[in-house]
Structure formats: structure tokens, C-alpha cells
Amino acid sequence: MALLKIARMGHPVLIQEAQPVENVHSLAIRQLVSDMIETMLDSRGAGLAAPQVYKSLRLFVYHVPELRCAEGESPIPPRVLINPEITPIGDDRMLCTEGCLSLPLLRGVVPRHAAVAYRGLDLDGTVISGEARGFHANVLQHEFDHLNGVLYTMRIEDFASFGFADELATPRESEG
């Protein structure tokens, strides 16, 4: 396994539509997924899309750590979705404070669907499908956006909520 270099905002791979994975069973895809999971965990990310590691492929890895689970939900261990499809469930929206490994240290508030249905393949080519809500839905939508060349900054509606994480988290006393 190896840690992969993460593309940062400004690199063209992050703003182009990724290509479908043709051979799910290839050793190259298995190695890529393994390296992406190691990179995601080492970087303390919740997800990582192939374009973020300079591979224009429609796949991403993600997990939902216990500290991000809502009451009654279970953590989701690292997994992959290959050639995913994400479909909103209903019209309910939620505001999510997001960061991205391709935009280190920055955070912004982004509107997302509160619930989504997802479908894709695992490394064995088996169809995986389900529904996600809350943080799980947020991660899936964020990573899916990467496959379509969309960074979360492109979805921010109020840039007063965008900035460096340590500055946004620290309330400042007014000066003057």
C-alpha cells in the first residue's frame, strides 16, 4: 500500500467529468482503491474520489466514523463505490459544513439533500445499493460531485460561511 498525492484546487483533473471504470476486477483498480483508503485514513478524511489522486475514474472511497454518527446509527467502515449513481430522496435539504482534502484547511457551508439513494459496484463487481441520511448522505454527495468536476466551493451560497477552519471556529470580539 502507498500514500497517494492529493490534487489541490486549481488542478484540471478536479474540474472535469471522470470516466467510467471499465474493468472493475483489474489488479490496478484493486491497488488504487487500497491506496486511496490508506490515503483517506492517513489524511483524516471521510472520503476520497479518484480525481483527487489524479485518476479521472468514476470511483470513490469513504467511511462514516463513529463520532460522525447520529444517535442510533452505526459507523460505516471504509468502502468503495465504483461507477456510482446518487439520487435525491424527497425535497428536504440540510446545510453541511464541509471541508475537502483538495482544499486543505478550508471549510464552507453547503446545501445538500437530506437523504439520497445510492447504487454502484464494489471491487467484486457486486451491485451495492441503499439509502443514506445525514452525514452519510453528505459524504456520498460530496464525493459524487468530484466525479462530475464539482468542488464544494461551487455549491456555496453564502461566502460569509467560507474560510479557514481555525478562523471560522474561533469567535472574534469586535474591534473598535
The confidence score (pLDDT) of residue 19 equals: 98
From CA 157, how far away is CA 137, in angstroms rounded? 19
Length of the chain: 176
Report the share of the chain in percent with pLDDT over 90: 90
Which residue in 85, 143, 157, 175 is the catalytic one?
143
CA distances in angstroms from 150 to 63, 104, 120, listed in the order given: 20, 16, 19
Residue 138 is placed in which grid cell? 453528505
From CA 61, how far away is CA 126, in angstroms rounded? 16
Give the neighbor-by-neighbor strand order of the sheet with 106-113: 93-98, 106-113, 163-164
Half-sphere exposure of 155 (CA within 13 A, CB side): 23
**What SS3 state is found at 142?**
helix
Tell me whether residue 143 is one of the annotated catalytic residues.
yes
From CA 142, how far away is CA 47, in angstroms rounded? 8
pTM score of the predicted model: 0.94
Asked if 85 contacts 116 with a C-beta cutoff of 8 angstroms, the reply is no
| pLDDT tens sequence across 51-71 | 999 999 999 999 999 988 888
Give me the CATH topology for the region 12-168. Peptide Deformylase (3.90.45)
Over residues 109-133, the mean pLDDT reads: 97
Asked if 169 contacts 103 with a C-beta cutoff of 8 angstroms, the reply is no
- Tell me the pLDDT band of 173, cut-offs 50, 70 and 90: very low
